[in-house]
Structure 1
Amino acid sequence: MLDLVDLKKGKRGAIAKAISVVENDQKEARKLLKKIFKDTGHAMIIGITGPAGAGKSSLINKTAVAMKKLGTKPAVLAIDPTSHVTGGAILGDRVRMSESTDSGTYIRSIASRGATGAVSRSLRNSIRVLEYAGFNPIIIESVGAGQTEVEISNIADITVVVFNPNTGDSIQTIKAGLTEIGDIYLVNKSDLSGANQLFDAVRDFIGDSERNPIILKTSVKKNSGITEFAKALKDMMNSKKKFKKEKDSERLETELKDIVLNNMREKIDDMLHSDKIFSKYLKKLQSKDVDPFEAGDQITKSLLK
């Protein structure tokens, strides 16, 4: 049985248990959410994304420590591509983040389980568990894979895009849709050659946009730029507070639509499974007596009666 008192106190065992429930047991997750929902929604969500190999985990490790020193209580959810063997998350991130764990930051890898754009469906509720346990901000780390960045920016109050000089095709990457979403752009691994050119390119390409994002250089190896980055995040958390209510309203609307559409999809799947009209039109379609659109329209009409 999950102890809500321990969860409220931020005890690690209780948090781990609650997030496992959210990830693996839909029925219990619903019961848990019913109890904690009113006490959630207050933390700032920071999404950190960018190409694989940009050094996000080590950067987050150092940044979480710096943010703790600034008086915040960060937690980290690292979205991992699902481990094909166990269906769980690959826990490499935890190893790289040991320093921030020691300083009291809670870190959890959660599997993306093939959800669109590698953003886990259980992410929203894992965030709520951490909010209930008193963490703020909650940092989401995602593997930059196409759609993910845009999805992360829908979930996050602040979006950080991380580049590194090693990616080679950096400028192409910059142009590929990441220009719209970042509040902060980081050129990480700035101790490497090519970092200054990349920084200039990012500044020229993105810095002039109306949104006027912050562009910084960081190096975990040289421990440079991390404190500035943490301070920029803290300042931005304060300045974005006034938009949080509006953003949360939009997010809840999206979530509600998702839930309703999922419920409908499941219901329709069940109905189609046993529907005589569906089988009738499927046979007609297979023998090419009707075209797919005609068959679809007829089945839809019969379901909506």
Structure 2
Amino acid sequence: MDLLNDLKKGKRGAIAKAITIVENDQTEAKKLLRKIFKDSGNSAIIGITGPAGAGKSSLINKTVIAMRKLGTKPAVLAVDPTSHVTGGAILGDRVRMSESTDSGTYIRSIASRGATGAVSRSLRNSIRVLEYAGFNPIIIESVGAGQTEVEISNIADITVVVFNPNTGDSIQTIKAGLTEIGDIYLVNKSDLSGTNQLFDAVRDFIGDSDRNPIILKTSVKKNSGITVFAKTLKDMMKSKKKFKDAKNKERLEAELKDIVLNNIKEKIDDMLISDKTFSKYLKKLQSKDIDPFQAGDKITKSLLK
């Protein structure tokens, strides 16, 4: 399979093709993963998240260049809110990251397709493709929207939360669930007024927690703090390496449960379509001869025979 050889060499066309397979073609994806799985699981995964408008894309663009100078080989997966028209990913991020792409970094947008679990699946397997192609670290950028953050912090070895002074309701933003997941908190766009208040607020709210996260300021405009951030990431990649095995075992357990539950769900969906008992009790329910729980229990019993 030429695709595998080209993938191993890190050829862009092969990587793009492999990730497209992973996203869109389950049968082919399974064949591909069978071949690359053994060589995956060794790269550091860095999740970068935070409210929309925090300046994540431009920040990642600069950080990736700084990380390359430190001798690492980063790739970026941007999880985009799905474009409702095409079902593909909106490519705004790609435009803002053109500089780092030119320097040899691989950047790809993944559509989040609105489904929890679906993000995890295409993300996990896209990460494996990039690991096989020799990238380390793999940076995942996600727009700050609730559930995806939690999923990404489950996949990432290092989670970075980005804030900016412009959000105005800075303290509220900080309280909203992002406080538990970060290893590093960045106050980005630190050339703006309000930076010091936000920095202090982050430090007071989050810095004192048991996890003792690192809090930094960065400004893409002034090109300040980026090198320090890149070095911090590189050091953290090293220090987190010792937890990698245990974390991988946990993740594989979660993934296996996902797959089994998903398989069972698909099977049951198929069975219900053709199941006579289901249609029998559905009719009884619709004519109110039976309540939903009774109907559900009867159908479940007949399926599990």
For normalisation by structure 1, the TM-score amounts to: 0.98
1:125, 1:2 → 2: CA distance?
19
Query: What's the CA shift for 1:119?
Result: 3.0
- Residue 54 of structure 2 aligns to a residue whose secondary structure is coil
Task: Identify the residue that residue 27 of structure 2 maps to in structure 1.
Answer: 27
Are the equivalent residues in 1 in contact too, given 2:120–2:151 (CA < 8 A)? Answer: no
RMSD (Å) for aligned C-alpha atoms = 1.1
- Residue 67 of structure 1 aligns to a residue whose secondary structure is helix
Query: What's the CA shift for 1:121?
Result: 2.8
Task: Identify the residue that residue 255 of structure 1 maps to in structure 2.
Answer: 255
Percent sequence identity over matched residues?
A: 89
1:140, 1:147 → 2: CA distance?
15
Task: Identify the residue that residue 42 of structure 1 maps to in structure 2.
Answer: 42
Task: Identify the residue that residue 62 of structure 1 maps to in structure 2.
Answer: 62
User: Which letter maps to 2:222?
Assistant: K
Task: Identify the residue that residue 98 of structure 1 maps to in structure 2.
Answer: 98
Structure 1 residues 153 and 166: alpha-carbon distance in aligned structure 2, compared to 1, 3 A threshold: same
Task: Identify the residue that residue 134 of structure 1 maps to in structure 2.
Answer: 134
Unmatched tracts of structure 1, length 5 or more: none
- Residue 3 of structure 1 aligns to a residue whose secondary structure is helix
1:1-305 alignment runs, 5 A limit:
3-116=3-116, 119=119, 121-305=121-305
Indicate the larger mover: 264-273 or 275-284.
275-284
Query: What's the CA shift for 1:170?
Result: 1.8
User: Which letter maps to 1:233?
Assistant: L
Structure 1 residues 286 and 302: alpha-carbon distance in aligned structure 2, compared to 1, 3 A threshold: same
- Residue 160 of structure 2 aligns to a residue whose secondary structure is strand
2:23, 2:2 → 1: CA distance?
14
Are the equivalent residues in 1 in contact too, given 2:79–2:141 (CA < 8 A)? Answer: yes
User: Which letter maps to 2:272?
Assistant: L
Query: What's the CA shift for 1:101?
Result: 0.8
1:180, 1:223 → 2: CA distance?
28
For normalisation by structure 2, the TM-score amounts to: 0.98
User: Which letter maps to 1:138?
Assistant: I
- Residue 236 of structure 1 aligns to a residue whose secondary structure is helix
Indicate the larger mover: 288-297 or 122-131.
288-297
2:262, 2:70 → 1: CA distance?
41
- Residue 189 of structure 2 aligns to a residue whose secondary structure is coil
Structure 1 residues 129 and 81: alpha-carbon distance in aligned structure 2, compared to 1, 3 A threshold: same
1:220, 1:22 → 2: CA distance?
33
Are the equivalent residues in 2 in contact too, given 1:115–1:121 (CA < 8 A)? Answer: no
1:71, 1:217 → 2: CA distance?
23
Are the equivalent residues in 2 in contact too, given 1:81–1:90 (CA < 8 A)? Answer: yes
User: Which letter maps to 1:182?
Assistant: G
1:147, 1:20 → 2: CA distance?
24
- Residue 189 of structure 1 aligns to a residue whose secondary structure is coil
1:82, 1:148 → 2: CA distance?
13
Are the equivalent residues in 2 in contact too, given 1:186–1:218 (CA < 8 A)? Answer: yes
Structure 1 residues 117 and 143: alpha-carbon distance in aligned structure 2, compared to 1, 3 A threshold: farther
The CA deviation string for residues 190-239 of structure 1, in whole angstroms up to 9 with x for no partner, is: 11111110000000000000000000000000000000100110000000
Structure 1 residues 219 and 191: alpha-carbon distance in aligned structure 2, compared to 1, 3 A threshold: same
Alignment length (residue pairs)? 305
